[in-house]
Structure 1
Amino acid sequence: MNTALHEIDERTNLTSNNKFELLLFRLGEAPGTDHRELYGINVFKIREILVMPTITAVANAPANVMGVANIRGQIITVINLPKVVGCTPKKGTPILLVTEYARSTQAFAVEEVSEIARLDWNQVIAAENNGGNLITSIARLDGNTEESRLAQVLDVEQILRDVLPSSTEDLTPENVGPQIKLPAGTVILAADDSPLARSLIENGLKALDVPFVMTKTGLEAWTRIQAMSDAAVSEGKTIQDKVALVLTDLEMPEMDGFTLTRNIKNDQRFKSIPVVIHSSLTGEANENHVKSVGADAYVAKFAAEELAGAIRKVLS
């Protein structure tokens, strides 16, 4: 119990200071090179790290699925991460990362685990203009210097969508419920660093016929809400006449959703604006911490009906 409480305290201290921990690992030689690049996943998503257990091949499994493993009585799908990324592991895949994502559990086979790096979110830059569609950001592990090692932060949402396509229906007004009527002239300000997540959020908000402004990082959202506030003042209005609600992810480059939420709730101009956190970081400890920073609601990705319900509830 004391260990668990200590871990929760450590987690709170990190997110209170716009910090996080990145598990670093290698997947083998990158395509067309003999370099073994570093990749990373937020430690909050990692349930455990194991020596590769026995894998049972599953008939007609997707190409990048190795099979399933029986881990502590739970049958978990094992994904060949080097194959997904296109790397060639010279040492095989002897390590298994068991992850919790959006209230589901899956495992990734990797070549080697390197270390856990504790970073400021400002050491992480968005990767959309620098990489492929399987990474959300690039972390500068040794600080913001030219000599810093780089690690690619994987877009777990996109990888799971590609490897295990969802059979979920397309988002329509019929399956997200009644449309939401915002006060005239207001929008939902949304922030998420994953292109896939942004696409799903946009489709959901369009199905609800809700006007919105989409941003890619917590810092971009924070800058935008301040600019919108300045514009409102110049028009003799308040920010409440511009923004009805803020919808934010937690893991984002430059500024995470915890810090964005605290900034909003600690600023007299913005504190009355509802904040809904929409994240794949699930689990009781994470969800309790969301409440501690002042968020009005928490919704796990990607449940369109739940998100629509949360938005309706906080706006009412």
Structure 2
Amino acid sequence: MSNLISSVDQRTNIVGQNRLELLIFRLVGSQPFGINVFKVREVLQCPELTEMPGASECVRGIAHLRGVPITVIDLSQATGGKRIEDLKSAFVLVTEYNRTTQGFLVGGVDRIVNINWEQIMPPPKGAGANHYLTAVTKVDNKLVQVIDVEKVFSEISPVEEEVSEELKSQSRELDLSEMTVLVADDSSVARNQVKKALSSVGVNVVLVNDGRQALNWLEEKLEEYGDDFAQKVPLLISDIEMPEMDGYTLTAKVKANPELSKLHIVLHSSLSGVFNEAMVRKVGADQFIAKFHPDELASAVRKWMSTN
């Protein structure tokens, strides 16, 4: 337990500093890719895989880890690349996010780097709508591509995106037409899921791609609305992993501003576990919700928008 507490303390120290730890890996070839260490539960040499009849062609099989079956997805194939053929030299990233545990097959694993979110940039414009990147950065003068694993997993195993009819009916009792919820998320899949869920219960939604855009938007609206700001914009829903400014830093900056501090903040993230819970408390967010459950999210929105 002491080791666990020490690990929590070590990682929570980066909160407010806009930093993350990035695991660098390869798929097929030398191109480096990255994933937030907080998503990764363990990294292991590819174990023996059991075929899964009827599964997506990107699912290479099931790994039995300490008696627990884990689906293993070929991350190269799932993102439109070549199939990883040499399983003996391959690795599996066992990830825990979006309330599930799954494995991603990768060609090789390099190292973990500590980096500032300001060095993480959105994908270049002109890349089209079908790419699998949420961000890019440079490590040792090499371009590292951060893969949108939420998009990968949603294509292979789609989640329920509809709010229940019962909750829609309950929401009709509230008039939310004069209020706006700001949603910050770097994943286009996640942004669309949230917008679809909240729009179905009558909530006006504004979408931005990262924490810096969110803070700029809030400051502009504060100047526009003045004393009416808290009534007009009662709630921010923010992802945690975002380029330029992450959700932790965004929350800390909002709560440190007396004119914005009354804004309710829900951190809505695929990250989970004790490390994340400690960070959420430290920055002063009002609530944490793991992605993605439309009824839970819509219920939280109704709660915080009706308490202003």
Equivalent position of 2:121 in the other structure: 125
Q: Give the alignment of 1:224-263 within 5 angstroms.
A: 224-233=217-226, 237-263=227-253
Contact (CA 8 Å) 1:79, 1:107: kept in 2 or not? yes
Aligned to 1:145: none
Is 1:108 paired with 2:104? yes
Cα distance, 1:6 vs. partner? Answer: 2.1
Residue in structure 2 matched with residue 23 of structure 1 by the alignment: 23
Residues 103 and 283 of structure 1 are in contact (CA less than 8 Å); yes or no, is this contact kept in structure 2?
Answer: no
- Evaluate the alpha carbon distance shift between residue 88 and residue 53 of structure 1 in structure 2; reply closer, same or farther with a 3 A threshold: closer
Moved segments of 4+, more than 3 Å: 87-93, 169-177, 180-185
Measured after TM superposition, the shift of residue 177 of structure 1 is 5.4
Structure-1 residue corresponding to 2:65 = 71
Aligned to 2:52: 58
The aligned counterpart of 1:293 is: 283
**1:28·1:90 contact (CA, 8 Å) conserved in 2?**
no
Asked whether the equivalents of residues 123 and 141 of structure 1 are also in contact (C-alpha less than 8 Å), the reply is no
One-letter code aligned to 1:66: R
- State how far apart, in whole Å, the 2-side matches of 1:205 and 1:302 are: 13
- Partner SS for 2:41: strand
RMSD of aligned alpha carbons:
2.0
| Counterpart secondary structure, 2:96 | strand
Which of 176, 179, 188 lines up with 2:171 in the alignment?
179
Render the CA deviation track for 1:117-137: whole Å, top value 9, x for unaligned.
Answer: 111001011116254531111
- Structure 1: gaps (5+ residues): 30-35, 143-147
Question: What amino acid is aligned across from residue 91 of structure 2 in structure 1?
Answer: I
State TM-score, norm by structure 1: 0.89
Match of 2:148 in 1: 155
> CA offset at residue 184 of structure 1?
6.0
Q: Which has the higher contact order (CA 8 A, sep 6+)?
A: 2
Does residue 1:11 correspond to 2:11, yes or no?
yes
1:309 paired residue number: 299
Identity of aligned residues (%): 36
Residue pair 1:77, 1:106 contacting (<8 A) in 2 also: yes
Cα distance 1:17–1:279, how it changes in 2: closer, same or farther (>3 A)? Answer: same
* Counterpart-to-counterpart distance in 2, 1:17 and 1:26: 28
1:271 is aligned to 261
The residue that corresponds to 1:87 in the other structure is: 82
CA shift in 2, pair 1:185/1:258, >3 Å: same
Could you tell me how far 1:105 is from its partner in structure 2? 0.1
2:163–2:298: 8 Å Cα contact kept in structure 1? no
TM-score by length of 2: 0.91
Q: Check conservation: 1:124, 1:138, Cα contact below 8 A.
A: yes
**Quick one: distance in 2 between partners of 1:68 and 1:241?**
50
Structure 2: tracts of 5 or more residues without a match: none
Deviations 1:170-223 (A, max 9, x none): 446556552274666331111000000010011011101111211110000001
What is the number of residues matched between the two proteins? 301
Distance 1:182 1:291 in 2: 31
The amino acid of 1:99's aligned partner reads T
In structure 2, distance between residues paired with 1:126 and 1:173: 36
